[in-house]
């Protein structure tokens, strides 16, 4: 079948033969995306002559339940994020900033999966020699990995046609192109079409497919999230690149939960799963310093201890600075307003900095209390005892609320040596807690 391409507006469906900055039909900017059209394919019309088999509805009650057969990746934290292992034919997108460790993780994974039959590793970004250097660094010897230096997706597919592989790894999808489209590598049209073709062959062969996706400065996978819709699983690799801790998070998973995280440590021989994740994010052997407190964050089924740090300094600016790292800056503004109004801490003439140690991003309101106490501790310059753990949501009235799984968090924290809990059970309002602890 012959192919040609045209530009289709993602907003209104207008078709154009060339790229235009603005859609002539709906007037939207940059919505025209190059799309492959096959010539000679008959378009089916309603009631027309149908040659293909027509699907019939199946009774849900008549379908036998089948348990999903999963293949372990032998990397414990990756298995956890995937929901217990890989499903045959599963398409996984691993997205993250450059240098975070995507290629490292996939090289380690390739080595594990190559035990059964060879793994095809398409290196569109690096040369085979560079991958070899990495494999040596990781101490991989005698592994059955086929490296393919290729950026043409159709050549990759023809390589796969008559070979048996246990997995396909493409590093990265943004380097792949097809000759059927004229767009540049990394354009929305190319990324979508190449991913579709790779997915098709992976499903036909019933082997897992891993695509590496780069993240743009704005934090989205290049090709406006088109990939997220196509694949079964989207994993985000994140962390502070200046530190060694890396977090792998499932943001979409057709075959498992989406709230689990896997934690790794980047050492000189690759990524090592972190076993005692509960304490991975708190500073070891730290002296009591004002502005620091430990809280507990639920990640999937696991409570993880996190350290919240705050700094309060007199400002010289008309509008004081509020800098939040790892927490939502609007949440910080709100909590500062509550502290000023309900606890009488005059923060309007101070710069406030709040940071979650270890580069973790927290979205739970259960850490409100800890954030407030860290700020108060920094303001009064009085340290909070090291064995304290604070968990609670803070409302606009200054009330402390109970949070989900509070019992579980406190039990786990107590097991790890945090014996002095602070929660809604101890104080009803934030000003009571602050009065008792600092004044």
Return binding residues: 96-103
In the complex, the smallest distance separating the C-beta of residue 172 from Mg ion, rounded to whole angstroms, is 7
The residues of the shown chain that bind ligand TYD, judged by CB under 6 A, are 96, 98-104, 134, 137-138, 266, 268-270
Closer residue to Mg ion (CB): 173 or 280: 173
Between helix 188-205 and helix 153-161 the angle, nearest 10°, is 10
Give the span between the Cα atoms of 216 and 406, in whole angstroms: 37
How many Cα atoms are found within 13 Å in the side-chain-facing hemisphere of 389? 27
Peptide bond into 102 cis (omega under 30): no
Residue 134 binds which of Mg ion, ligand TYD, none (CB < 5-8 A, kind-dependent): ligand TYD
In the complex, the smallest distance separating the C-beta of residue 366 from ligand TYD, rounded to whole angstroms, is 31
Residue 344 binds which of ligand TYD, Mg ion, none (CB < 5-8 A, kind-dependent): none
Give the span between the Cα atoms of 264 and 267, in whole angstroms: 9
Closer residue to ligand TYD (CB): 262 or 270: 270
Compute how many residues bind Mg ion; rule: CB under 5 A.
1
Among 31, 73, 90, 103, binds Mg ion (CB under 5 A): 103
Residue 342 binds which of ligand TYD, Mg ion, none (CB < 5-8 A, kind-dependent): none
In the complex, the smallest distance separating the C-beta of residue 81 from ligand TYD, rounded to whole angstroms, is 16
Residue 169 binds which of ligand TYD, Mg ion, none (CB < 5-8 A, kind-dependent): none
In the complex, the smallest distance separating the C-beta of residue 97 from Mg ion, rounded to whole angstroms, is 10
Closer residue to ligand TYD (CB): 13 or 98: 98
In the complex, the smallest distance separating the C-beta of residue 98 from Mg ion, rounded to whole angstroms, is 7
Separation of CA 438 from chain center: 38
Closer residue to ligand TYD (CB): 103 or 190: 103
Closer residue to ligand TYD (CB): 268 or 276: 268
Quick note: the x/- pattern for Mg ion over 212-241, rule CB under 5 A, is ------------------------------
Residue 142 binds which of ligand TYD, Mg ion, none (CB < 5-8 A, kind-dependent): none
Residue 138 binds which of Mg ion, ligand TYD, none (CB < 5-8 A, kind-dependent): ligand TYD
Residue 137 binds which of Mg ion, ligand TYD, none (CB < 5-8 A, kind-dependent): ligand TYD
In the complex, the smallest distance separating the C-beta of residue 235 from Mg ion, rounded to whole angstroms, is 15
Near Mg ion by CB under 5 A, which window of 4-12, 70-78, 96-104, 158-166? Answer: 96-104
Give the span between the Cα atoms of 373 and 390, in whole angstroms: 8
Closer residue to ligand TYD (CB): 97 or 393: 97
In the complex, the smallest distance separating the C-beta of residue 125 from Mg ion, rounded to whole angstroms, is 6
Near Mg ion by CB under 5 A, which window of 24-32, 100-108, 303-311, 313-321? Answer: 100-108
Binding site membership for ATP: which residues? 96-103
In the complex, the smallest distance separating the C-beta of residue 234 from Mg ion, rounded to whole angstroms, is 17
Residues 6+ apart with CB under 8 A from 43: none
Largest CA distance in the chain: 83
Residues 6+ apart with CB under 8 A from 158: none
Closer residue to Mg ion (CB): 103 or 178: 103
Closer residue to Mg ion (CB): 169 or 226: 169
In the complex, the smallest distance separating the C-beta of residue 215 from Mg ion, rounded to whole angstroms, is 12
Task: Rule CB under 5 A: say whether 112 interacts with Mg ion.
Answer: no
Q: Which stretches of the chain bind Mg ion, using CB under 5 A?
A: 103
């Amino acid at each position: 079948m012959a192919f040609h391409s045209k530009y289709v507006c993602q907003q209104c469906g207008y078709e154009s033969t060339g790229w235009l900055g603005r859609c002539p039909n709906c007037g939207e900017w940059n919505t025209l995306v190059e799309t492959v059209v096959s010539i000679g394919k008959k378009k089916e019309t309603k009631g027309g002559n149908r040659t293909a088999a027509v699907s019939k509805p199946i009774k849900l009650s008549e379908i036998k339940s089948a348990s999903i057969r999963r293949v372990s990746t032998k990397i414990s934290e990756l298995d956890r994020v995937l929901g217990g292992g890989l499903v045959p034919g599963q398409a996984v997108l691993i997205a993250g900033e450059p240098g975070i460790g995507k290629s490292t993780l996939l090289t380690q994974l390739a080595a594990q999966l190559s035990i059964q039959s060879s793994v095809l590793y398409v290196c569109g970004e690096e040369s085979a020699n560079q991958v070899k250097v990495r494999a040596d660094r990781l101490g991989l010897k005698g592994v059955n990995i086929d490296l393919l230096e290729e950026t043409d997706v159709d050549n990759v597919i023809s390589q796969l046609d008559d070979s048996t592989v246990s997995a396909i790894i493409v590093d990265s999808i943004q380097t792949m192109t097809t000759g059927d489209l004229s767009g540049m590598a990394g354009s929305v049209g190319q990324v979508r079409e190449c991913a579709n073709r790779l997915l098709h062959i992976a499903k036909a062969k019933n082997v897992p497919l891993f695509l590496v996706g780069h993240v743009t400065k704005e934090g989205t996978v290049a090709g406006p999230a088109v990939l997220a819709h196509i694949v079964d699983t989207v994993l985000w690799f994140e962390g502070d690149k200046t530190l060694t801790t890396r977090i792998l998070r499932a943001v979409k998973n057709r075959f498992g939960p989406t709230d689990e995280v896997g934690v790794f440590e980047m050492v000189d021989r690759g990524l090592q799963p972190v076993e005692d994740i509960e304490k991975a994010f708190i500073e070891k052997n730290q002296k009591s310093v004002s502005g620091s407190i430990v809280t507990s964050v639920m990640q999937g089924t696991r409570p993880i201890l996190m350290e919240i740090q705050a700094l309060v300094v007199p400002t010289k600016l008309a509008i004081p600075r509020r800098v939040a790292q790892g927490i939502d800056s609007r949440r910080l503004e709100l909590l500062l307003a509550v502290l000023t109004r309900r606890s009488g801490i005059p923060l309007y003439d101070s710069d406030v900095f709040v940071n979650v140690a270890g580069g973790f991003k927290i979205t739970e309101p259960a850490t409100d209390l800890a954030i407030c106490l860290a700020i108060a501790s920094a303001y009064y310059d009085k340290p909070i005892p090291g064995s304290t753990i604070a968990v609670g949501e803070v409302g606009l009235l200054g009330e402390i609320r109970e949070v989900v799984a509070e019992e579980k968090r406190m039990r786990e924290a107590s097991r790890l040596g945090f014996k002095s809990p602070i929660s809604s059970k101890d104080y009803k309002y934030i000003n009571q807690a602050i009065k008792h602890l600092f004044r």
